[in-house]
A and B are shown apart, each in its own frame.
Chain A
Amino acid sequence: MVELLLQFRGKIATAKLLILREQSQKELINILKNIRGKKCLVIDPKLGDSLSLIIQTSLLKEHGVELRHLSADHIQTDCTKVVYLVQSQPNLMRHICSNIHHDESKGLQREYHVYFVPRRTVVCEKVLEEEKLHNMVTIGEYPLYIVPMDEDVLSFELDLAYKECQVDGDTSSLWHIAKAIHKLEFSFGVIPNLRAKGKASVRVADILNRMQAEEPVNSSDMVMPEINTLILLDREVDMVTPLCSQLTYEGLLDEFLNIKNGSVELDASIMGLQQEGKKTKVPLNSTDKLFKEIRDLNFEVVVQILRQKATSMKQDYTEMTTTSQSVSELKDFVKKLNSLPEITRHINLAQHLTTFTSKPSFLGQLDMEHTIVESQSYDICFDYIEELIHKQEPLTTVLRLLILFSVTNSGLPKKHFDYLRRELLHSYGFEHITTLNNLEKAGLFKKQESRSNWLTIKRALQLVVEDTDTANPNDISYVFSGYAPFSIRLIQHAIRSGWRPVEEILKLLPGPHLETKRGAFSNSPSFDSLSGVSTGIAKVPDGRRALVLVVFVGGVTFAEISALRFLCSQEGMAYDLIIATTKIVNGQTLVETFMEKLGG
């Protein structure tokens, strides 16, 4: 019965998230409807990717839209109305300007609309103004702050948030996050409990409270808000986890095949399709039941499960051909057959993954990651990284380990720091001085100034767990085969008993932490943290589980999401979790945001 209720609860939450998607879809269609007649919709490619999660191209076409991607090249269309839908980034304005100037030079008279996502900004308008196009375009806004990635994952699609905050000091993403949460509160009610760790997170909390003061969500008519707690965590607090290679199925898929907006693109031949040399897109989300079942498991286990499924299918099939079956047995078999395409799909994918996971270089890297996380053999790690540089291995691979190394040691001794920097410049070119500069500014690869407290943290939070049973895990450490993701360990504490018990640890980590009550609850006398099922605060009156919204400021990996889902499924867990992030990242994509060539 409880199970049933929980499922029911989950459905309601996801239904609400789906409403978000519908809302965004409706808003976009309204924008298009308001511009009469045929029009050419020009989308910046990055935004186009996110939009594919909101609306289908076919639906756009129904509204008389010709679709184009924004680039510096001029647009070829017969439409007299051009609608630009772009993120509010100044560099995109340049493209629009060159487009319009081209039309002008050709004597084409068109009606231009620029819709900014999520809102118009002074900087973008300034660019238009400087190009003297300000009066030629009609400006609008498409307030898309959140893109639902899956039924429990939201993304703000801020790829560069972490780098911009840490390196450029540009904190626009924090406002965006706060605005997005504030918008959520308009449909879910004011979230009464807030916990934040890290400079950026505390700032988001601050801006959020400001927004609540300026434009209050009316919470008087809501008896119990659906989201009980908001947990904000800076990526900066835990840079170890994203740099480790993920070992869950979905994590590995992302590491090697790069999951983009819930799908991967690979050669058709890998998926057993006949089209030679063609690419095919494989969707990966929870509508695929088998994927939902195995995405969060350790890859080792996934291989076994897939093998079992295939074998039992084969068995059923042979039984079916040899003996006579009753109708109901036939029915069962046909039902199973329906899942055959899914099984085949994942067997193909898993097989493809093993070609990567069995490579000695990958195993070596895993080994080294564990050695660094263990933090016991400095010299071995140093030599290994030095050798990678000398062998001119791909720079991202090198930097990934190097940052992991630097972070766990809270920097490298000056001699080593300078030496490795010099070797990097010599091996990869002097243009990478900017990358190094960025990493130093962000504190990811820097000179050692104080002793590292990684060992203390690791021990206190039991991050390295011996004898992890990946098949029947009892701890989140299964996702990295023995390393419990630090970030999730913190969240585990935050959910269970608030920050207080881990206060000492938090003090060792960068940035302040915060724990407050908000809205109508800020005056409530029981300032106690939510203490689970026993007290029953967690329950919304009708017995559903309340929600906790976990926001990662600076990105989250699939492995961490899996670990959270694992926590969610544990007995005694009083909450359902929704995860929001600036972007879903992995070690590689995260490092890439910091890479910037001088000449680039």
Chain B
Amino acid sequence: MANVSVAAEWQLLYNRYYRKPELYPMRWKHVDLARHKVAAAPFGGPVAVIRDDSKIVQLHAESALRKLRLFNSAGHPLADAVWRHPGGRLIGMSWTDDLTLVCVVQDGTIYRYDLHAQLVEPNISMGKECFEQNVADCVFWGNGVVCITEQNQLFCIPDFRNPKPVPLADPMIEEPPRCIAVIEPQYTMSGNVEVLLGVADDPVVLVVEEDGVQRLGEGLLRGPLQKMVVSRDGKWLASFTHDGRLLVTTSDLTGIIIERECESSLPPEQIAWCGMDAVLLYWDDMLLMMGPDGDPVHYFYDEPIILIPECDGVRILSNTSMEFLQRVPDSTVSIFTIGSTSPAALLYDALDHFDRRSAKADENLRLIKPSLPEAVEACVDASGHEFDVSRQRTLLRAASYGQAFCSNFQRDRIQEMCKILRVLNAVRSPEIGIPLSIQQYKLLSPSVLIGRLINAHRHLLALRISEYLGMNQEVVIMHWACSKITASLSIPDATLLDILLDKLKLCKGISYAAVAAHADKNGRRKLAAMLVDHEPRSSKQVPLLLSIGEEDTALMKATESGDIDLVYLVLFHIWQKRQSLEFFGTIQARPLARDLFITYARCYKHEYLKDFFLSTGQLQDVAFLLWKESWEFVKNPMASKGSPLHGPRIKLIEKAQSLFAETKEHVFESKAAEEHAKLLRIQHELEVTTKQAIFVDSSISDTIRTCIVLGNHRAAMRVKTEFKVSEKRWYWLKVFALATIKDWVALEKFSKEKRPPIGYRPFVEACIEADEKAEAIKYIPKLADPRERAESYARIGLVKEAADAASQAKDGELLGRLKLTFAQNAAASSIFDTLRDRLSFPGAS
């Protein structure tokens, strides 16, 4: 059977199978891991290699300069950089979660490199103490590091995104610890990192935190620990004891889970968890895999190796190859175990028969009919775990073959798996060199994978993958555009713009402004201006235009957008930046900006506004401002009425008047200002003569009324003539003023002075309003219009007279209206009815 060869490569540990396929032969040349310090990132990440300066090594045909070299997992070179940093020996280096290489040197300085071996500024310092005491060792985790100094003080950086060193509590030990391990902050109770120290000659583990040290494992341990490693989830601690045992305990050292003798009492060079159920120990040429029970598995290596723990196994890097040691997934076991009769194995076998046109295929299918869905599922699942493309294909074919006979299987399951595998196979190709297993891929998430590809400048692949998976391509294109700009110093602006636009248009809603900002940061202001022009969102475009000094365009765009807030933003910016006159010139040409400036300045920058109007020759507006100011004197509490402050106030108004007079169009305003000044003078005089502060700031009409009410008819007359008040208005004013003081005698006398120019209506109205019927009756008959007479009678309740007058007017509508007014009064209402009936005969019109 075809399956035999597959299972033959497996090793049995306790009751589980393990396999160790080769992922890549290493493409690098002349790399001897024994002579180098190596840092390899999990999730199939890159490998950093630098000559180990703590070892004495023989230089062959190479430069004495140390070089930091970066490779992908297939040993394909990515970048290199000469290492010339001061600060002493390189103590440790590691990749952070976002694939920055952090290198800690003796004096506590941390140098950071990106994937392209570019130094990331600024360097981080572990602090003064580290500098003085020297860093002796360090331990990394995802995004942080703990350093221990030669005086056994601990310092940590909990998060490289916010690189601030934090001192930990003093463990109070004399000798350097035998071994160190950390429990990541996300798995500790306190949320801060916990450092485990295996101390010489003391059968305990010290747990050091920011605010204290605990001793764990007292009574549990029989001697000091030599080597420790914490499991991925922070729950278990695997350690190697002084007497050559492997000890697996809970990470708080309260219980022993496994205790096994190893064949050596020398501590292993490396120790690592393989998934969650086996521990790897590495000595010189032997790799030992220990499970919870049963015989350990031995692997022999004649070259040095590096263990790279992953979530579902361990990658083993040697000078020549990259292998992946993993527990064989259950689905794979069920298909390929020798002699397996599981439905999945039979299905896989059926396909083989089918391909060979053997009738046994049908027999197999019949045999597993009821459990066909599980069989299909197992094949699909197993295909996902394969690194070998042809085997993936065979498994998927088996699944698809089985699916044809099975009605209730989720159809998109196979399609989904194909999609994932296509992505995985694409990134596993040696050029890309990211050997993700399906489990790692799911844990890492597609978007992070795309992020890593972008960082590695694999934009095309990232774009294809995100398109294939239906994800937003904006991130990819944006990053590409920015990298392109950085990398294209020699390409002229216009050409580069075309190249960029060609790609940017692939993605709707992409922020051109962000790309433009990047161009500006790279010193390509002109390109930035060209790019920002393509930004549809004014709120993004305008601020950028300002930052690259394109104020006029910014003002234009802001105005177009209709967003007043943006216009103000530009306005204030220009205002601050430019000389007054230049500023005035700019905004004068733009009506919206000008109007907004005026509105704002009217409230907050009065004087400045005056300058503006003067500079643009809008004298009438200056005049209005001055006129307005003249009232400020009134509001000012110091300016009590009748005080000498009157002088300056009138002067301001007169100044306004002369400014109005400068232009033909403002004759009216000029005249009004002149009259206003005159009025204030007269009112001032009146206040002095009457000793009553009641005139200033009342209107001309009110002044006349006040004079009459005070009985000062001469003054009233004077105001009338001074301001050429018309007879019509004069009559209304005087009649109402007299009625106010109920001087009915004077009123009558006034009515007889001469025939009133507007008739007797004012007299009637004044009397009715004052509720003086008797007085009103004197004037009603004198009204010329019978309709007015009728209404006036009606208003004082004289029904009969009203009706008579209305019938004189021959107005049926009026009669009807009057009737409504008297609706409550039945007698009155009948009067109107008879009158209207009478009217309807002759007055048919």
Per-residue 0/1 for A418-434: is the Cβ within 8 Å of any B Cβ (1 yes, 0 no)? 10011101111111011
Knowing A210-B562, A360-B795, the reply to whether A122 touches B537 (Cβ < 8 A) is no
B572 within 8 Å of A (CB atoms): yes
Of B251-259, B436-444, B698-706, the segment with at least 4 beta carbons within 8 Å of chain A is: B698-706
Q: Are B729 and A178 in contact (CB under 8 A)?
A: no
Per-residue 0/1 for B586-610: is the Cβ within 8 Å of any A Cβ (1 yes, 0 no)? 0000011011101110011000000
The residue that B564 contacts in the complex, of A126, A170, A363, A433, with Cβ under 8 A, is A170
The residue that B669 contacts in the complex, of A213, A427, A433, with Cβ under 8 A, is A433
A121 within 8 Å of B (CB atoms): yes
Q: Are B600 and A122 in contact (CB under 8 A)?
A: no
Q: Are B631 and A431 in contact (CB under 8 A)?
A: yes
Q: Are B563 and A428 in contact (CB under 8 A)?
A: no
Q: Are A171 and B592 in contact (CB under 8 A)?
A: yes
Which A residues are in CB contact (< 8 Å) with B700? 425-427
Knowing A390-B729, A390-B732, the reply to whether A430 touches B562 (Cβ < 8 A) is no
Q: Are B729 and A175 in contact (CB under 8 A)?
A: no
Q: Are B562 and A203 in contact (CB under 8 A)?
A: yes
Knowing A122-B565, A423-B729, the reply to whether A392 touches B634 (Cβ < 8 A) is no
In whole Å, how far is B612's beta carbon from the nearest beta carbon of chain A? 15
A59 within 8 Å of B (CB atoms): no
B725 within 8 Å of A (CB atoms): yes
A437 within 8 Å of B (CB atoms): yes
The residue that B624 contacts in the complex, of A423, A437, A599, with Cβ under 8 A, is A437
In whole Å, how far is A144's beta carbon from the nearest beta carbon of chain B? 16
Which B residues are in CB contact (< 8 Å) with A426? 699-701, 723, 725, 729
A215 within 8 Å of B (CB atoms): yes
Knowing A122-B568, A178-B562, the reply to whether A598 touches B627 (Cβ < 8 A) is yes
Which A residues are in CB contact (< 8 Å) with B562? 171, 174-175, 178, 203, 206-207, 210
Q: Are B634 and A599 in contact (CB under 8 A)?
A: yes
B137 within 8 Å of A (CB atoms): no
Knowing A360-B791, A433-B672, A598-B628, the reply to whether A428 touches B592 (Cβ < 8 A) is no
A278 within 8 Å of B (CB atoms): no
The residue that A123 contacts in the complex, of B538, B568, B594, B668, with Cβ under 8 A, is B568
A277 within 8 Å of B (CB atoms): no
The chain A residue with its CB closest to the CB of B704 is A426
Which A residues are in CB contact (< 8 Å) with B732? 387, 390-391
Name the residue in B569, B604, B699 with the highest tally of chain A Cβ atoms < 10 Å from its Cβ.
B699
In whole Å, how far is A261's beta carbon from the nearest beta carbon of chain B? 26
Q: Are B537 and A214 in contact (CB under 8 A)?
A: yes
Which A residues are in CB contact (< 8 Å) with B675? 425, 430
Knowing A119-B565, A168-B595, A175-B564, the reply to whether A422 touches B672 (Cβ < 8 A) is yes
The residue that B672 contacts in the complex, of A175, A210, A390, A430, with Cβ under 8 A, is A430
Q: Are B595 and A169 in contact (CB under 8 A)?
A: yes
Which A residues are in CB contact (< 8 Å) with B585? none
Name the residue in A203, A363, A386, A391 with the highest tally of chain B Cβ atoms < 10 Å from its Cβ.
A391
A140 within 8 Å of B (CB atoms): no
A91 within 8 Å of B (CB atoms): yes
Cα–Cα, bound, A425→B698 (Å): 11
Cα–Cα, bound, A425→B674 (Å): 12
In whole Å, how far is B624's beta carbon from the nearest beta carbon of chain A? 7
A90 within 8 Å of B (CB atoms): yes
Which B residues are in CB contact (< 8 Å) with A387? 728, 732, 758
Knowing A429-B699, A598-B628, the reply to whether A170 touches B565 (Cβ < 8 A) is no
In whole Å, how far is A379's beta carbon from the nearest beta carbon of chain B? 14
A172 within 8 Å of B (CB atoms): yes
In whole Å, how far is B583's beta carbon from the nearest beta carbon of chain A? 16
In whole Å, how far is B298's beta carbon from the nearest beta carbon of chain A? 61
Q: Are A430 and B679 in contact (CB under 8 A)?
A: yes
Q: Are B635 and A599 in contact (CB under 8 A)?
A: yes
Q: Are A168 and B599 in contact (CB under 8 A)?
A: yes
Which A residues are in CB contact (< 8 Å) with B598? 168-169
Q: Are A390 and B536 in contact (CB under 8 A)?
A: no
Knowing A168-B595, A169-B592, A390-B733, the reply to whether A213 touches B676 (Cβ < 8 A) is no
Per-residue 0/1 for B723-737: is the Cβ within 8 Å of any A Cβ (1 yes, 0 no)? 101001100110010
Which A residues are in CB contact (< 8 Å) with B627? 433, 598
Cα–Cα, bound, A203→B562 (Å): 8
Per-residue 0/1 for B698-719: is the Cβ within 8 Å of any A Cβ (1 yes, 0 no)? 1111100000000000000000
B352 within 8 Å of A (CB atoms): no
The chain B residue with its CB closest to the CB of A391 is B732
For residues 428 through 479 of chain A, which have their beta carbon under 8 Å from a beta carbon of chain B? 428-431, 433-434, 437
Per-residue 0/1 for A175-206: is the Cβ within 8 Å of any B Cβ (1 yes, 0 no)? 10010000000000000000000000001001
Knowing A215-B537, A427-B700, A431-B631, the reply to whether A121 touches B565 (Cβ < 8 A) is yes
In whole Å, how far is A194's beta carbon from the nearest beta carbon of chain B? 16
B561 within 8 Å of A (CB atoms): yes
For residues 648 through 679 of chain B, which have their beta carbon under 8 Å from a beta carbon of chain A? 668-669, 671-673, 675-676, 679
B5 within 8 Å of A (CB atoms): no
The chain A residue with its CB closest to the CB of B628 is A598
Q: Are A126 and B791 in contact (CB under 8 A)?
A: no
A326 within 8 Å of B (CB atoms): no
The chain A residue with its CB closest to the CB of B565 is A121
For residues 680 through 702 of chain B, which have their beta carbon under 8 Å from a beta carbon of chain A? 697-702
B821 within 8 Å of A (CB atoms): yes
Q: Are A90 and B596 in contact (CB under 8 A)?
A: no
Cα–Cα, bound, A211→B599 (Å): 26
Knowing A206-B562, A386-B728, A599-B635, the reply to whether A90 touches B604 (Cβ < 8 A) is yes
Cα–Cα, bound, A398→B536 (Å): 49
Cα–Cα, bound, A430→B677 (Å): 10
Cα–Cα, bound, A232→B116 (Å): 57
Which B residues are in CB contact (< 8 Å) with A429? 697-699, 702
Q: Are A171 and B564 in contact (CB under 8 A)?
A: yes
Cα–Cα, bound, A316→B805 (Å): 45
Which B residues are in CB contact (< 8 Å) with A523? none
A358 within 8 Å of B (CB atoms): yes
Cα–Cα, bound, A121→B699 (Å): 40
The chain B residue with its CB closest to the CB of A427 is B701
Cα–Cα, bound, A27→B635 (Å): 42
For residues 609 through 661 of chain B, which have their beta carbon under 8 Å from a beta carbon of chain A? 624, 627-628, 630-631, 634-635
Q: Are A170 and B595 in contact (CB under 8 A)?
A: yes
In whole Å, how far is A279's beta carbon from the nearest beta carbon of chain B? 28
In whole Å, how far is B613's beta carbon from the nearest beta carbon of chain A? 14
For residues 290 through 306 of chain B, which have their beta carbon under 8 Å from a beta carbon of chain A? none
In whole Å, how far is B792's beta carbon from the nearest beta carbon of chain A? 10
Which B residues are in CB contact (< 8 Å) with A213? 536
In whole Å, how far is B107's beta carbon from the nearest beta carbon of chain A? 38
Which A residues are in CB contact (< 8 Å) with B599? 168-170
Q: Are A598 and B631 in contact (CB under 8 A)?
A: yes
Q: Are B569 and A122 in contact (CB under 8 A)?
A: yes
Which A residues are in CB contact (< 8 Å) with B537? 214-215
The chain A residue with its CB closest to the CB of B731 is A390
Which B residues are in CB contact (< 8 Å) with A433? 624, 627, 669, 672
Cα–Cα, bound, A216→B537 (Å): 11
In whole Å, how far is B559's beta carbon from the nearest beta carbon of chain A? 10
Q: Are A392 and B701 in contact (CB under 8 A)?
A: yes
In whole Å, how far is B433's beta carbon from the nearest beta carbon of chain A? 39
Cα–Cα, bound, A90→B568 (Å): 13
Q: List 15 A-B contacts (CB under 8 A).
A: A90-B600, A119-B565, A122-B572, A123-B565, A171-B564, A210-B561, A214-B536, A216-B509, A360-B791, A387-B728, A390-B733, A418-B668, A426-B699, A429-B697, A599-B628
New A-B contacts (6) at CB < 8 Å, excluding given A122-B569, A210-B538, A422-B672 = A121-B564, A121-B568, A171-B564, A175-B562, A422-B671, A430-B699
5 tightest A-B CB contacts, nearest first: A169-B595, A599-B631, A172-B564, A207-B562, A429-B699
Using a CB–CB cutoff of 8 Å, the interface residues on chain B facing chain A are 509, 536-539, 561-565, 568-569, 572, 591-592, 594-596, 598-600, 603-604, 624, 627-628, 630-631, 634-635, 668-669, 671-673, 675-676, 679, 697-702, 723, 725, 728-729, 732-733, 736, 758, 765, 791, 795, 817, 821
